[in-house]
Chains A and B, each alone.
Chain A
Amino acid sequence: DAKTTQPPSMDCAEGRAANLPCNHSTISGNEYVYWYRQIHSQGPQYIIHGLKNNETNEMASLIITEDRKSSTLILPHATLRDTAVYYCIVLGSNDYKLSFGAGTTVTVRA
């Protein structure tokens, strides 16, 4: 049973911000939202995670709604190297099962 819903694909112009939505309406109070990405022919790479508050690191920002039912990953200045599949994951608080869905294929165009 999928815990998250993401659009299958989206395009973004190079140099612009990319906003990737994720719905997780059944999230529990102590479950974290994680984002990973997978560039072609590589293993997934951790991007960022959060619980309630918005988070920012050198790669991206994570905005979580107040009711925690959805979140948005923001790549502030997309580059061609950001072309990848992006996965939004809710990490179970009991089993810590890191389960991937289909993700969003993001294509950054010059």
Chain B
Amino acid sequence: EAGVAQSPRYKIIEKRQSVAFWCNPISGHATLYWYQQILGQGPKLLIQFQNNGVVDDSQLPKDRFSAERLKGVDSTLKIQPAKLEDSAVYLCASSSTGGSNTEAFFGQGTRLTVV
């Protein structure tokens, strides 16, 4: 079974520029998560989708971050404009139902450096 695919693996941008990350979850998985992981910290949940609807985006900085999951499959996370403190690894994960008795599978992540 193919895992969660993310691209790009690495990205370096200047502050105030825009950037987008792409995630392809495991086929058939209804729930998709985006996390931000700053060096030395645990992953922080940014947004959770159930199919193409948002379940939780309480920690998403909506003035600069946006995410969409068209057709309930692939998802993109965008930052516009980027700040230095956005430097982090952005992780995507998916699970079959998002319920309390299912495991989540994570991608390798995209490492963003803002200079």
Contact = CB atoms under 8 A, between A and B. Distances in A.
Contacts of B105: 46
Interface in B99-115: 99-101, 103-109
Contact of B100 (A43, A87, A92, A102): A92
B100 A93 contact: yes
Contacts of A43: 4, 91, 93, 106-109
Range of interface residues on B (Cβ < 8 Å): 20 to 34
Given A43-B106, A45-B106, A95-B56, A100 B100 contact: no
Contact of B45 (A42, A45, A97): A97
Given A43-B108, A43-B109, A95-B56, A101 B101 contact: no
Given A43-B109, A95-B56, A30 B43 contact: no
Interface residues of A, number: 25
B101 A32 contact: yes
B41 A102 contact: yes
Contacts of A34: 103
Contacts of A102: 41-42
Interface of A: 30-32, 34, 42-46, 49, 51, 85, 87, 91-93, 95-103
19 contacts: A32-B101, A42-B109, A44-B106, A45-B106, A85-B42, A92-B100, A93-B100, A95-B56, A96-B31, A96-B48, A96-B98, A96-B100, A97-B48, A98-B104, A99-B45, A100-B43, A100-B44, A100-B45, A103-B42
